[in-house]
A = this chain, B = another copy of it.
Amino acid sequence: MELLSSHRSFGGWQQRYGFKSTSLNSETTLSVYLPPQADRGSVPLLYWLSGLTCTDENFVTKAGAQRAAAELGLAIAAPDTSPRGAAVADDAGWDLGQGAGFYVDATQDPWRSHYQMATYVRDELPALLAAHFPAIDCDRAGISGHSMGGHGALTLALNNPDRYRSASAFAPIAAPSQCPWGEKALTAYLGSDRSAWLTYDACECLKTSAWDRPILVDQGEADEFLAGQLLPQQLEQAAQAAGKALTLRYQPDYNHSYFFIASFIDDHLRFHAEQLGS
Which residues of chain A have a CB within 8 Å of any CB of chain B? 7-11, 14, 61-62, 64, 66-67, 220, 222, 251-255, 257-260, 262-263, 266
> Is the beta-carbon distance between A262 and B64 smaller than 8 angstroms?
yes
Q: Cβ of A9: which chain B residues have Cβ within 8 Å of it?
A: 259-260, 262-263
Q: Which residues from chain B contact A67 at a C-beta distance below 8 Å?
A: 64, 67, 262-263, 266
Contacts A62-B61, A64-B64 given: A8-B254 contact, CB under 8 Å?
A: yes
Shortest beta-carbon distance from A74 to chain B in Å:
16
19 cross-chain CB contacts under 8 A: A7-B255, A7-B260, A8-B251, A8-B253, A8-B255, A8-B259, A8-B260, A8-B263, A9-B259, A9-B262, A9-B263, A10-B263, A11-B263, A61-B62, A61-B258, A62-B62, A66-B263, A67-B67, A67-B262
Say how many copies of this protein the assembly contains: 2
Taking chain A's interface residues, is the majority helix, strand, or loop, or is none over half, making it mixed? Answer: mixed
How far does the Cβ of A167 sit from chain B's closest Cβ, in whole Å? 24
Is B222 a contact of A259 with CB atoms below 8 Å?
Answer: no
Contacts A7-B257, A7-B259, A9-B263 aside, 20 further interface pairs with beta carbons under 8 A come to A7-B260, A8-B220, A8-B222, A8-B251, A8-B252, A8-B260, A8-B263, A9-B259, A9-B260, A9-B262, A10-B262, A10-B263, A11-B263, A61-B62, A61-B258, A64-B64, A64-B67, A67-B67, A67-B263, A67-B266
- Report B-chain residues with C-beta under 8 Å of the C-beta of A222: 8
CA separation between A253 and B258, bound complex, in Å? 28
Query: For the complex, what is the distance from the CA of A222 to the CA of B222, rounded to whole Å?
Result: 42
> Min CB distance, A95 to chain B, in Å?
22
Chain B nearest CB, measured from A257 CB (Å): 5
Give every chain B residue within 8 A of A260 (Cβ-Cβ): 7-9
Inter-chain contacts of A8 with B (CB < 8 A): 220, 222, 251-255, 259-260, 263
Residue of B nearest to A251 (CB): B8
Instruction: List residues of chain B with CB within 8 A of the CB of A61.
Output: 61-62, 258
- How close is A14's CB to chain B, nearest CB, in angstroms? 6
